[in-house]
Structure 1
Amino acid sequence: MPRPDRSHERIPQILSAAAKVFAADGVQGARMDDVAKEAGLSKAAIYLYYKNKDALVLALLEQFFAANLEALKLIPQGNSATDRLCLWIDLVSAAMQQGAHFQTVGFEFLAMAGRDTDARQKVLEFYQEYQSAIAQLLVDDGMLPSDAANKAQEIVALLEGINLLWMAQSGDMDFARLAKSGVTALLS
């Protein structure tokens, strides 16, 4: 008799455990055994879903990226693009404060993208989706598509630069204030 598919339960369980372990031990110091123990699963069960620690890091960041993009797409219409982006920045900032462990994972992911073509491709795909979603928001607000694409690239560069500083300073800066100020300046 085939086993039931439990991936819808196991994947969040494993990712939650990995985030806790990475936050406590750092990505380099964490072991798959530690993740398995935190998840309450065997190491073999972890390997059914993730072939190695890099795959876990990649999955965590994909989860974080997807949540950020979804939040951007769910900001209600009716406000200006600037107001909508500022609302989204508040949501992202709150998630960053709750998920401070992503500081460590974020640096690891950037390092992975520098040495691994699959990770680099994931980063590029995320930035393309991120930029497209912002560009669409700007077009919806009346900006010409070519101008919106350029402005979206500027906004992504600004926000990612602020994010990098936030990570480097271990979250000891007001990400939302700086990001909203920068976006408002770019769009005024």
Structure 2
Amino acid sequence: MPRPALKEERREQILQAFERCVARYGIEGATLERIAEEASLARALIRHNVGNRDDLVLALIERFFAHSDNQWAALTEALPEKNKTKALIEYLFDSRYSDSQQVLITEALIAGGAQDKQLAKRLRDWIDQSLDVIADIIRQDFQEAASDRVEACAAGILGIYFNVDSFALIGDMSRLRGASRAAALTLVDNLEKGVNR
């Protein structure tokens, strides 16, 4: 029986390999053979250290949501005291912070959600949570703004962000990224004008 530290190290190695395979081949295409090859381990070690295919998928889903939660927490903590919304937009539309593997995993999970009602529900909750985080940031800057306008602005920013990040997978999208950033800032400017009337 392997030492606990080695088992945990192997588990992490396998889960990282699984994530790379999902990003490359999708959930269905991430076969145990491909995972074993990517992890440079025998296939039997996958089952021994993580479990069966369902266990792998469940671990992928849990890691995805934990990663997202950690990213939102770190981002909101790093925002300045004032002008948080514009700082958020600068971060979201900066290509240096785009993670192509996470984008591909997101797309694979969304595709999987079409067949899995529980996953679909978790993804909808994740979108709602992301929308709440952005709306809360906006509310800190625009405390007098009507709730429905804040929600609309947050939805616009989130939708534009997801759109441009998904296209980043095909190469340099600096023109779209710049125009998308400007579009998100326009939403904030319109919200600000409505508050200052």
* Structure 2 CA distance for aligned equivalents of residues 73 and 6 of structure 1: 35
Structure 1 contact 135–149 (Cα < 8 Å) conserved: yes
- Give SS of 1:77's match: coil
Structure 2 contact 14–35 (Cα < 8 Å) conserved: yes
Aligned to 2:84: 81
Structure 1 contact 81–137 (Cα < 8 Å) conserved: yes
Give the structure-2-normalised TM-score: 0.72
Are 2:69 and 1:69 aligned? Answer: no
Output one character per residue of 1:25-66: Cα deviation in whole Å (capped at 9) or x when no partner. 554433123223433551213543862564355345335523
Q: Which shows bigger deviation, 173-182 or 4-13?
A: 4-13
Which residue identity lines up with residue 187 of structure 1 in the other structure?
V
Aligned residues: 183
Q: Which shows bigger deviation, 112-121 or 148-157?
A: 148-157
Per-residue deviation, 1:132: 1.0
* Structure 2 CA distance for aligned equivalents of residues 117 and 38 of structure 1: 29
RMSD: 3.3
Are 2:160 and 1:158 aligned? Answer: yes
Per-residue deviation, 1:75: 2.6
Give the structure-1-normalised TM-score: 0.74
* Structure 2 CA distance for aligned equivalents of residues 44 and 120 of structure 1: 26
- Give SS of 1:61's match: helix
Are 2:54 and 1:51 aligned? Answer: yes
- Give SS of 1:115's match: coil
- Give SS of 2:68's match: helix
| Cα distance, 1:139–1:23 mapped onto 2, change above 3 Å | closer
Are 2:180 and 1:179 aligned? Answer: yes
Which residue identity lines up with residue 163 of structure 1 in the other structure?
D
Structure 2 contact 85–141 (Cα < 8 Å) conserved: no
* Structure 2 CA distance for aligned equivalents of residues 7 and 95 of structure 1: 32
* Structure 2 CA distance for aligned equivalents of residues 122 and 106 of structure 1: 12
Unaligned runs of 5+ in 1: none
Structure 2 contact 161–180 (Cα < 8 Å) conserved: yes
Unaligned runs of 5+ in 2: 190-197
Per-residue deviation, 1:186: 0.7
Which residue identity lines up with residue 117 of structure 1 in the other structure?
K
| Sequence identity (%) | 19
Aligned to 1:33: 33
| Cα distance, 1:8–1:53 mapped onto 2, change above 3 Å | closer
| Cα distance, 1:74–1:176 mapped onto 2, change above 3 Å | farther
Which residue identity lines up with residue 178 of structure 1 in the other structure?
A
Structure 1 contact 17–35 (Cα < 8 Å) conserved: yes
Which residue identity lines up with residue 180 of structure 1 in the other structure?
R
